Structures are given as C-alpha cells and as structure tokens.
Amino acid sequence: MPAEAVLNQRYELIAQQGSGGMSVIYRAVDRLLGRTVAIKVLRPSLTSDPAFLEKFQQEARSIANLTHPNIVTVYDVGRDVGAKDVTHYIVMEMVDGQDLKKIIKAGAPLPVDRVIDLSIQIAAGLGYAHRSGLVHADVKPQNILVTPTDVVKVTDFGIAQALTDTQPQQRVDVVWGSPHYFAPEQARGEQPGPAADVYAIGIVMFEMLTGRLPYSGASQQELALAHIKERIPMVTEFNPTVPEALAKIVFKLMSKEPGARYRMAGQLEQILTEYRDKSREYTVRNANMPGMPAAPGLPTVPSTPPVITPGGIQPPQSRPPGVGLPPAAPPASEPTARFSAAPAAPQPYHPRQPGIPAAPGATTPPQPLEQRYSVNAPAAAGSGVPMPPAVARGDSGAFAVQYGNSQPIREYEEDEGPDYVTIALAVLAIIAVLGLCPLYLAVLSARF
C-alpha cells in the first residue's frame, strides 16, 4: 500500500513506521479530527479468513474500551474497500518514542532502577487488561513502546489472540514470529492465559538486565523445546551486579508451570513496586544514619539485597561505601584478645546497692570468678566497694547476681538464719493436736 493512500477518505497515510509478521504500521493524519495517529494495516494473508476478521474485530472493540496510561489507546477499527482488495486497519494513538527492543540493543544491560521502573509500567498495563478479561498473547520488546520520558505504552493487543483462537494452523507462520518470548504452554499449543503474559514479562526483564535472551535455538522448534525443557537460567549468571532478590523474582516469572508464576500481571506490579520502594527507603535511611552521614555525592551500596519471604519483602541493609563498616576481626594468633570479655580500659564502678557511693575514680580490678560472682565475696581490694547485691530471685529461692551489664549470671543460696514464724506455727499445730486427743478418746469410749 502506498504511503500517500487515504483510507475511507479520512485517514491519510504519511510514512511507514514499521512492520511485523501480522501488520504494517503507518504514521497518518486523521482529516476529520486533525490529529496525527498511527494506523496498523493487517496483512492480506490474515484478512482472507472471515472467522479471524470477526474475532479480531471483537478483540479490537474490547481493547478500545481500555483506558490506561500504559496501554496504547485504540481510536477506531475499520476497513477500506478498494478496487482490487479490502484493507483492514486499526487506528491508534501516535506514540513518540521507540520500541523497547531498540533500547535494549543500544544500551543493555540497562540500569537496575530503570529496568524496575519499566517493568512496573509493563505489568501495570497488562494487569489492567487481565482484570478486564483480555490476554495479550504476544508480549515482546517490539510491542512495548517507550517515550523520551520513559513512559511505557503496550501495543498490539488482540491480533495474536484472535489468530490463536481461529487459525491454529497459522501459528508457525505468524504467531511464532517471536518464539523467544513464548511461554512453555504456548509452545505446546495450549491456549495462553494471563500467566503466559507474565512469563513473557520475565523474558523481557531478563533481556533488559543481561542484554541477551535466556534461550537460543537454530529453529523455532528448538526454541520451543528450550522453553519447555531447558534449565531456567539465573540473571546473576550473566550479570552479577543484579541484586539476588530481583534475580529470584525474574526466575519465578520464568517458571515452566503457569501455577508457579504470579497469576496475573497486576500481582507482579505490586511485588516490583514494593521492592522498589523498600529498596529506596532503606538506601536513603542507611545513607543518613545519625552520627554517620554519607559523604556528599557518595553513592550507597547495598550490603545485602531485599529478601522475598511469605510475609513480604525484607528490605536491603545499605550503607555508604567505607562508612559504618564493622571492625575487622583480630588475627587468629590472639585468642585471648579475641575472646576476652574485659574492657580495653578500666571503667568506673557504680555499685547498685543504695547508700554506698562509689569511691571517686575507683575501678574494679580483675578478680577470680569465685569472687566476682559470689555474694560472700570480699570487697574489691583497695576500693572499699562491696560486690553488687542480688538482683533477682528464682522460684526455688535461689538468688542471682549480675556484675556490670554483660557478665554472666551465677546463682547462689543465701543463709537467712532461723525462721521464727515457721517454728511458732509448728508449736501451735502440735498443741492443737494434743488438745484433740481426749476428745477422740471420749468418742471411742462412748461408741464401744
């Protein structure tokens, strides 16, 4: 079709923008509304089947009802009857930008933050379609448009799905134009569902993070078998800088069984959004810890990535490089220094027993364990300060004493002396028993 053609006396084709296995895309002008649009003209090989055309028009009308910032808006669906043939077309909004495949070829692997932001938008658009009962069935970077401000627009809804439903024999010629992104169930010839779109998002994320596809093959059949049988590769095998938690998310998206993935793209959007927000929050928080400010312009480096758990995402523990590092472990040749609990410098001793102030400047010299943890131990030599009193009593009557704030606790029995109350109660009990004896004898005599 020449670029200067006019469809239905309304849409003037200006220039060809691209082409694929199922359509050719033109930049056009809507003469009625005076706006620039994109028109996708279906290839004649598809329009010869009335069943496909009917199914396609149904899908197109459903897509026209989708209003989402990450989905290309469909304005019109129609056909132009010419002298020789009939041209079927879709009129869509014109997106200024380029498709994601070109971005990947030019700059992959992309920065992790950008991959997450783009993936969230892809999942948001597809999730909205899934909630509306629509499946894309052909998610790939060529069908994902990105504006200069990194706004994602998912396009090409409906064509692959309509073809899959009505012309299964055409899968090899048309739908298999993108077998690198097919879910295993699609490769087996099964009906694709939302989980198939989720799988394709995982392949796209893998490609953005590594600059390569996870599977390769000399033919479409080999690629299909790779999706079905080959081991799922980890992103970190090709790009070790990717956080492990993000690599695990991509791994889950590429699961062979649909039930092992996220059920719909909206769930993936929530997971990635939470991951992004938690990562940023903890990176900023750890970079500005009280008393440990990050140097100006110094980036923060995550020491451990977020962890995916059933309860949610555990955020990473981040720190500025070289700031807040734990002290290095002492050499193995110094076991005494490594395991000693004694402080490096003498600390003033503050007794816990009220009424006995600590001597000015007095410290507690090292003492044997028997003296440090015994209630009857003498005062520290030369200090005049007795050992701390018992701080807790157990159920068995044993006392425990704690020395300082981090020393172990030792139990001991305290010598309390005679208990006069107990003795008095025992004497009274004996007298009462003796007083009852004559009464008991009288009862026996009366009875017998």
The catalytic residue positions are: 138
Question: Among residues 352, 347, 364, which one has the least CA distance to residue 392?
Answer: 352
The β-bridge partners of 154 are 71, 144
Asked if residue 273 lies in contact with residue 262, where contact means CB atoms within 8 angstroms, the answer is no
Other beta carbons less than 10 A from residue 21's beta carbon: 18
Which helix (H) or strand (E) covers residue 93, if one does? strand 86-93
Question: Among residues 80, 92, 78, 56, which one has the least CA distance to residue 2?
Answer: 80
3-state secondary structure of 138: coil
Residue 176 vs residues 20, 160, 166, 228: alpha-carbon distances, Å: 12, 10, 15, 15
Residues 201, 205, 211: CA angle, nearest 5 degrees: 135
Structure-token pair, residue 258: 């649909």
Question: Among residues 181, 96, 104, 168, which one has the least CA distance to residue 136?
Answer: 181
420: amino acid identity, one letter:
Y
